[in-house]
Structure 1
Amino acid sequence: MNYKPLLLASSSPYRRDLLQRLELPFTSASPNVDESPLDGETGEALALRLAESKARALADRFPGHWIIGSDQIACLPDGTILTKPGNHERAAEQLRLSSGHPVLFLTGLALLDADSGKLERLCEPYQVRFRKLSDREIEAYLRREQPYDCAGSFKMEGLGITLFDALEGRDPNSLIGLPLIALNELLRRWGRNPLLEDRPAAIAR
């Protein structure tokens, strides 16, 4: 069967590394999307909207593709949304707010056929319980990893694991930014099974 080429709507090196694990050829491009939440928007609604918006933003530029969009939002128990901090001060504030609390990470995923407009999307939840962190630990962590482009102000693939008491969810890849179990489910529903393809390992460009 002839499949449409895959396009990852992201400039994130973390998402590119994750997608390579499915060993499917793909390219990537950066969408230009305003990630600001709307008034009264829930974390799940924001994650889904941004994932879809990122995929749709590239549809005109990349006809003939299946486009993968994804975005991650973190929510405190009171519903406060934690986005990418962008700088040291905001990251420290986020970690102080998260210290000693469960934080729900919501990763939106969208798969779009650029030609037909066919779209499927979902939100993958994953809960992280932060241990009680001292200001000294927060400063030491931020100096070492500088996770200013990561929702929730940590890198799961690095020292971020030292910040937690417990993790709960079906796919830890979603914490890094791309829920591979859910993506594999969507691709299989569209008739594409990574295990049954005779293709070389993917090289993102």
Structure 2
Amino acid sequence: MQRTVILASTSRYRRELLTRLRLPFDVHSPEVDETPLSGETPHDLAVRLALEKANAVAVRFPEAVVIGSDQVADLAGEALGKPGDHARATAQLRRMRGQTLIFQTAVAVVCKATSFVQRDIAPVRVVFRDLSDAAIEHYLQAEQPYDCAGSAKSEGLGIALLDSIDSDDPSALVGLPLIRTSRMLRAAGVDLL
């Protein structure tokens, strides 16, 4: 029996990435409070939120295999979230210029009916160029990445902001590490091929 697969996310980026697996899936909002806990590291925050998102939807659909994911931009141990607007995005990119960030991209797969739970994280090391204020403004006007952790879309013009990307899971920077997700789905009994 092939179980229903559900993506516990409202992110259009994660939805687009998951379609690459050519697997039928549903999408449901996890409605999870994403506020960091006191003293929580960006790594721990991403892992906790990925699992909480998967669990929140799995409770409603216990027979389904549910994927939760979260990404936190980690600047020297400080979590940078989605900027939400132009002013915050400008401030983020100014702080990030010339810096190395780790984008902590976590994924969790849960099926309540089988008691299946796995989680993993795909850290992505990203080196930002030393950007001028004019370059930052031009980029933000062009792409308006206000719904992206770290204020940049590497799959678009944001790639021009970077000196390098280092990752063992290429889709992780966009928001869903598909290599790890595929591994977990197979372990949960979902036939991808």
Return the TM-score normalized by structure 2. 0.96
Distance apart, 1:31 and its partner CA: 1.2
One-letter amino acid matched to 1:156: S
Please give the alpha-carbon distance, in whole angstroms, between the structure 2 residues aligned to 1:21 and 1:102. 29
- Structure 1 unaligned blocks of 5 or more: 196-205
Q: 1:124 aligns with which of 122, 125, 129?
A: 122
Contact 2:116 2:188 in 1 (8 A): no
One-letter amino acid matched to 1:64: E
**Structure 1 match to 2:17:** 18
One-letter amino acid matched to 1:181: I
Secondary structure of residue in 1 paired with 2:18: helix
Secondary structure of residue in 2 paired with 1:39: coil
**Structure 2 match to 1:61:** 60
Please give the alpha-carbon distance, in whole angstroms, between the structure 1 residues aligned to 2:3 and 2:149. 31
Please give the alpha-carbon distance, in whole angstroms, between the structure 2 residues aligned to 1:97 and 1:172. 25
Secondary structure of residue in 2 paired with 1:184: helix
Question: Is 2:44 the partner of 1:35?
Answer: no
More displaced stretch, 56-65 vs 128-137? 56-65
One-letter amino acid matched to 1:179: P
Please give the alpha-carbon distance, in whole angstroms, between the structure 2 residues aligned to 1:60 and 1:7. 12
Contact 1:184 1:193 in 2 (8 A): no
Please give the alpha-carbon distance, in whole angstroms, between the structure 2 residues aligned to 1:60 and 1:122. 20
Distance apart, 1:171 and its partner CA: 1.7
**Structure 1 match to 2:176:** 178
- Structure 2 unaligned blocks of 5 or more: none
Return the TM-score normalized by structure 1. 0.91
**Structure 1 match to 2:71:** 72
Give the aligned CA root-mean-square deviation in angstroms.
Answer: 1.1
Question: Is 2:50 the partner of 1:51?
Answer: yes
Question: Is 2:8 the partner of 1:9?
Answer: yes
Q: Deviation digits for residues 100-159 of structure 1, max 9, x if unmatched?
A: 011100111000003244210011111110000000111111111111111000112111
Structure 1 runs of 4+ off > 6 angstroms? none
Contact 1:72 1:108 in 2 (8 A): yes
Identity %: 51
Please give the alpha-carbon distance, in whole angstroms, between the structure 2 residues aligned to 1:31 and 1:162. 33
Contact 1:46 1:73 in 2 (8 A): yes
Contact 2:65 2:188 in 1 (8 A): no
Aligned pair count reads 193
Please give the alpha-carbon distance, in whole angstroms, between the structure 1 residues aligned to 2:60 and 2:181. 22
